[in-house]
Amino acid sequence: MTAPKTPGWLDWCPAPSTPDFRLPPGAVDAHCHVFGPQAQFPFASGRKYTPCDAGKDALFALRDHLGVARNVIVQATCHGADNSAMVDAVRASGGRARGVATVRPDVGAAELRELHAAGVRGVRFNFVKRLVDASPREDLSAIAKKIAPLGWHIVLYFEAADLPELETFFGGLPAPLVIDHLGRPDVTQPVDGPEFRRFLDFAGTHDVWVKVSCPERLTVTGPPALAGERHAYTDVVPFARRVVEEFPDRVLWGTDWPHPNLKHHMPDDGLLVDHVRHLADTPGRQRQLLVDNPMRLYWPGETA
Distance CA 140, CA 169 (A): 10
Nearer to ligand 0GY, 6 or 141 (CB): 6
Q: Does 256 bind ligand 0GY (CB under 6 A)?
A: yes
Binding range to ligand 0GY, per CB under 6 A, among 72-80, 86-94, 133-141, 187-195: 72-80
Residue 269 binds ligand 0GY, judged by CB under 6 A: no
219 binds ligand 0GY (CB under 6 A): no
Query: Which residues from 147-176 bind ligand 0GY, rule CB under 6 A?
Result: 157
Q: Should residue 180 be labelled a site residue for ligand 0GY when binding is judged by CB under 6 A? A: yes
Please, which residue, 180 or 269, has the CB nearer to ligand 0GY?
A: 180
Phi-psi region of 251 (alpha: psi -120 to 50; beta: other; left: phi over 0): beta
Q: Which residues are catalytically annotated? A: 256
Q: Regarding beta strands 28-32 and 70-74, do their DSSP bridges make them parallel or antiparallel, or are they unpaired?
A: parallel
Determine contact, residues 293/249, Cβ cutoff 8 Å: yes
261 binding ligand 0GY? (CB under 6 A): yes
Is the distance from CB of 209 to CB of 179 less than 8 angstroms?
yes
Task: Give the shortest CB-94-to-ligand 0GY separation in angstroms.
Answer: 24
Give burial (CB, 10 Å; 0-12/13-18/19+) of 42: middle
Please pick, from the candidates 38, 71, 77, 288, the single residue that binds ligand 0GY as defined by CB under 6 A. 77
Find, among 198, 120, 212, 126, the residue nearest to 161 by Cα. 198
Query: Which residues form the interface with ligand 0GY (CB under 6 A)?
Result: 33, 76-78, 131, 157, 180, 217, 256, 260-261
